[in-house]
Amino acid sequence: MSKAKSTLEQWRILQAVVDHGGYAQAAAQLNRSQSSLNHAVAKLQDQLGVTLLVVKGRKAQLTDAGEMLLRRSRGLTYAINEIEQLAGNLHSGWEPTLTIAREIVYPTHHLVDALSAFEPQSRGTRVTIIDSVINGTKELIEAEQVDIAIVGGLPPTGHLIEPLCEIDFALVCHPQHPLASHNEELDDHTLSQHLQIVIKDTGLKNTDDIGWLKAEQRWTVSNFHEALVILAKPIGFCWIPQHLVAQSLASGSLYQLTLRGGTRRRVMTSLVIPNRDRQGPASKLVEQLILNQHLKPVEPK
């Protein structure tokens, strides 16, 4: 492997001279002598055999070759800065990666808003979001395979929760489905004679698919988006979070059924930290930003 002719420090000095408009200005910003910056750039040009800067009046200007090489050098110094920052983060305990389990009933926009607030402070932390269902979420918590989990319903025994929000479910079908023509409340027997769309539990040990499960015929899918594609045709019914079907119900592209004993179902979502003892500062920040999504605004007196 051939030895590099230049150093990162030389390229950083060149960048400073260009960015600040000259040697004197760069020297003031870097707290270095102007002569040391002149020497560094002159040596860089000599080592490369290419003229990078020419001084016109009191201002240093890039040559065409200098502009091209400077542009490439910025990517190099940026990558080195990221590596050094990552090393500092690891030294201080800041997590390089975070994994979040999201029960799919939890509104995505809340999590996106929290992560958008996290991004400017993230220090390059990579975030992975796992969509999970019922026992799948609980198994991820018990195995401590995620840093943060948003669960629907009861969490695994022994874990403390932070309540987030309640999710209302609506029983829906296509407006041309036979069930939509009933003029009175449906009973379990009538409902059980039609195709039900259910969401598959992502658990490996125990599985409890989402929804009332007394229908003779069921189609099981991975998420609510797939269920909605099926519901675009008059071939089934499904319990779906109200926030996912509100617009479709308002436009008439879906029909909300009335079930004897209760038209709606409700699930509480909560935040769980699987292992508080191992929680790092990035996880704590994301946790607080998620909780902030559900703080009630203070009404003016």
pLDDT of the chain along its 301 residues, tens only?
467 778 888 888 888 888 888 888 888 888 899 888 889 888 988 888 888 888 777 677 888 888 898 888 888 888 887 777 666 655 567 888 999 999 999 999 999 999 999 999 998 899 999 999 888 888 899 888 999 999 988 777 888 889 999 999 999 999 999 998 877 788 878 888 889 998 888 887 665 555 555 667 889 999 999 999 999 999 999 999 999 999 999 999 999 988 877 666 888 999 999 988 888 999 999 999 999 999 866 555 4
* Domain count along the chain: 3
The CATH number covering residue 55 comes to: 1.10.10.10
Residues 194 and 170 in one domain: yes
Alpha carbons within 13 A on the beta-carbon side of 142: 13
Residues 262 and 144 in one domain: no
Residues 178 and 243 in one domain: yes
Residues 188 and 137 in one domain: no
> What is the secondary structure of the chain as a DSSP string?
-PPPSS-HHHHHHHHHHHHHTSHHHHHHHHT--HHHHHHHHHHHHHHHTS--EEEETTEEEE-HHHHHHHHHHHHHHHHHHHHHHHHHHHHHT--SEEEEEEETTS-HHHHHHHHHHHGGGSTT-EEEEEEE-THHHHHHHHTT--SEEEEESPPPTT---EEEEEEEEEEEE-TTSGGGG--S-B-HHHHHTS-EEEEPP--SS----BS----SSEEEESSHHHHHHHHTSSS-EEEEEHHHHHHHHHHTSSEE--BTT-SEEEEEEEEE-S-GGG--HHHHHHHHHHHHTTPPPPPP-
> What pLDDT does residue 207 have?
59
Domain end marker among 66, 92, 118:
92
Q: How far apart, in whole angstroms, are the C-alpha atoms of residue 177 and residue 282? A: 48
Residues 50 and 121 in one domain: no
> What pLDDT does residue 264 have?
64
Q: How far apart, in whole angstroms, are the C-alpha atoms of residue 114 and residue 164? A: 13
Is residue 2 in a domain?
no
| Residue among 192, 188, 41, 170 at smallest CA distance from 105 | 170
- pTM to 2 decimals? 0.67
The CATH number covering residue 199 comes to: 3.40.190.290
Is residue 142 in a domain?
yes
Residues 175 and 263 in one domain: yes
Is residue 147 in a domain?
yes
Please state the separation of Cα 189 from the chain's center in Å: 42
> What pLDDT does residue 149 have?
96
> What pLDDT does residue 59 have?
74
Question: 46 is in which domain, residue-wise?
Answer: 8-92
> What pLDDT does residue 159 have?
86
Residues 147 and 71 in one domain: no
